[in-house]
Amino acid sequence: MNYTSLSKEELLKLREELNKEYSEAKAKGLNLDMSRGKPSATQLDVSLDILDAINSKSLLKSENGTDCRNYGVLDGIPEAKKLMADMIGTTPDHVIVYGNASLSIMYDQVSRAYTHGILGNTPWCKLDKIKFLCPAPGYDRHFAITERFGIEMITIPMTDKGPDMDLVEHYVNNDPTVKGIWCVPKYSNPQGYSYSDETVKRFANLKPAAPDFRIFWDNAYVIHHLYDDNQDEILEILSECEKAGNPDMVFEFASTSKVSFPGSGVAVFASSHANIEDVKKQLTIQTIGHDKLNQLRHVRYFKNLDGLKAHMRKHADMMRPKFEATLAVLEEELGDTGIGSWTKPHGGYFISFESLDGCAKDIVAKCKEAGVKLTNAGATFPYGSDPKDSNIRIAPSFPTPEEMSQAAKLFVLCVKLVSVEKLLENK
Ligand code: PMP
């Protein structure tokens, strides 16, 4: 039944039925959270042996003899550099292994550019205006960093092949105040889209008006596939930029947050040799070195890229039923209603939902009232403001598949209810 072609009388009748259903659903007293992309406890359970990968009896030296119990080693022990470089498809000479999370590296990269400048360029704080391009819907915490530094954010529409590259080229190649762009190139947050080869090549071939323009390439979901036989792969950005004569244009980030333990994983920064040296000059003042015992723990457990991939298959087996349960409810309940569309990702942590214009906030509020927590509507856009008020991020990872199915049923009910109200407004 397509809701958009219903008469006023039919909509009024439908509203009555939906309201009754909603009251019944509310009475169930649900308490479910599909707001943040957190691994479930069962996913974390499969990582528990990491904690036993080293103990007081282990050899706590790295492969080059460094005593991991002591100070030192700014850019990571060699075996951790190799593991993290392999994970993102580059070589150890291009990486710095950091601490427990990648978001703090992103913050540092913006902060350092702001206070001290990149590769000898004017610090951004000394310039009148700084702008970042923000493909949206996107990751709210990226936008929070740039907002914090007073950087003007320009929304770039996303497509299933990546950001609108005509617009990206237009801004980057002509406006010297555009200093960066936030990208989640693989299984994007929130759509689960992966950039096409053409998109990556167009990124690598940008001709920035600003010499210190950087692509902030957040490869957070690089090995987070949902299927064995249906995986997205993207071109490796550092080598593409090198080939295009733009070796310094990328700052890449990743971590094992959603591989091992969020908050206790290992994070990595990857870039050109020149950028790596530039970062190290500052990093050596910031720290004597990151947690090498955690690096060792991760390498001893995972061993190599195959070890990481095998581990991620276990995660996928747990995630897939939740995605499938959610997608099944969406399809069954909204498939032919014309009041919503959604993505069907092959990996990552999210499904992105598009409601009728002007409905997202009300849907999220209705869900909350009945005990299902969603990411705030608008969060996926710069300044927390979705101009069409239509995007909702669904995070299926944390609840069980049964809970997820329950939550999705309530969600579709709220979508129907709010859409009917909206359609009635226009009658
Ligand atoms: N980037 C993206 C796109 C994410 O979705 C997340 C986690 N939600 C992060 C970064 C955070 O990564 P970390 O734990 O390494 O800081």
Q: How far is the CA of 335 from the centre of ligand 1 (A)?
A: 31
Predicted pLDDT of residue 295: 98
Sheet containing 391-394: order of strands: 340-342, 351-355, 391-394
Predicted pLDDT of residue 34: 87
Pocket of ligand 1 (CB under 6 A): 37, 101-103, 139, 184, 189, 218, 220, 255, 257, 262, 267
Q: How far is the CA of 102 from the centre of ligand 1 (A)?
A: 7
Give which of 193, 214, 209, 229 is closest to 270, Cα–Cα.
214
Q: Kindly give the pairing relationship between strand 152-159 and strand 131-136.
A: parallel
Token look-up 């259903």 returns 21
The CATH class, in words, for 3-44+309-425 is: alpha beta
Residues 6+ apart with CB under 8 A from 95: 75, 76, 81, 84, 85, 88, 268, 269, 270, 276
Predicted pLDDT of residue 251: 98
Token look-up 């927390």 returns 384
Q: How far is the CA of 139 from the centre of ligand 1 (A)?
A: 9
What stretch of H or E contains 367? helix 360-369
pLDDT one digit per residue (tens) for the chain, 427 residues = 999 999 999 999 999 999 999 999 999 999 998 888 999 999 999 999 999 999 999 999 999 999 999 999 999 999 999 999 999 999 999 999 999 999 999 999 999 999 999 999 999 999 999 999 999 999 999 999 999 999 999 999 999 999 999 999 999 999 999 999 999 999 999 999 999 999 999 999 999 999 999 999 999 999 999 999 999 999 999 999 999 999 999 999 999 999 999 999 999 999 999 999 999 999 999 999 999 999 999 999 999 999 999 999 999 999 999 999 999 999 999 999 999 999 999 999 999 999 999 999 999 999 999 999 999 999 999 999 999 999 999 999 999 989 999 999 999 999 999 999 999 998 8
**Would you say the pTM of this structure is higher than 0.90?**
yes
Q: How far is the CA of 49 from the centre of ligand 1 (A)?
A: 23
Question: Architecture of 61-303 per CATH?
Answer: 3-Layer(aba) Sandwich (3.40)
Pocket test for ligand 1, best of 140, 141, 145 (most atoms within 8 A of CB): 141
The residue type of 402 is E
Predicted pLDDT of residue 427: 87
Nearest residue (by CA) to ligand 1, atom 4, is: 220
DSSP letters, 26-55, are HHT---EEESS-PPPHHHHHTTGGGGGSS-
Q: How far is the CA of 207 from the centre of ligand 1 (A)?
A: 28
Each domain of the chain, given as residue ranges in start order, spans 3-44+309-425, 61-303
Predicted pLDDT of residue 119: 98
Sign of CA dihedral 367, 326, 399, 313: negative
Peptide bond between residue 345 and the one before it cis (omega within 30 degrees of 0): no
Measured CA to CA in angstroms, residue 183 lies from 100, 206, 303, 326, 355 at distances of 21, 14, 29, 26, 24
Question: What CA–CA distance (Å, rounded) separates 343 from 338?
Answer: 15
Nearest residue (by CA) to ligand 1, atom 1, is: 220
C-alpha Rg value of the chain to the nearest Å: 23
- Count of H-run helices and E-run strands, the chain: 13, 13
Pocket test for ligand 1, best of 140, 189, 252, 261 (most atoms within 8 A of CB): 189
Question: What CA–CA distance (Å, rounded) separates 347 from 319?
Answer: 9
Question: What CA–CA distance (Å, rounded) separates 290 from 74?
Answer: 7
Q: How far is the CA of 142 from the centre of ligand 1 (A)?
A: 9
Is-contact 166 160, C-beta < 8 A?
A: no
Question: What CA–CA distance (Å, rounded) separates 197 from 27?
Answer: 50
Burial 348-357 (b: 16+ CB within 10 A, else e): bbbbbbbbbe
The ipTM value here is 0.99
Predicted pLDDT of residue 385: 97
Question: What CA–CA distance (Å, rounded) separates 418 from 364?
Answer: 10
Q: How far is the CA of 8 from the centre of ligand 1 (A)?
A: 45
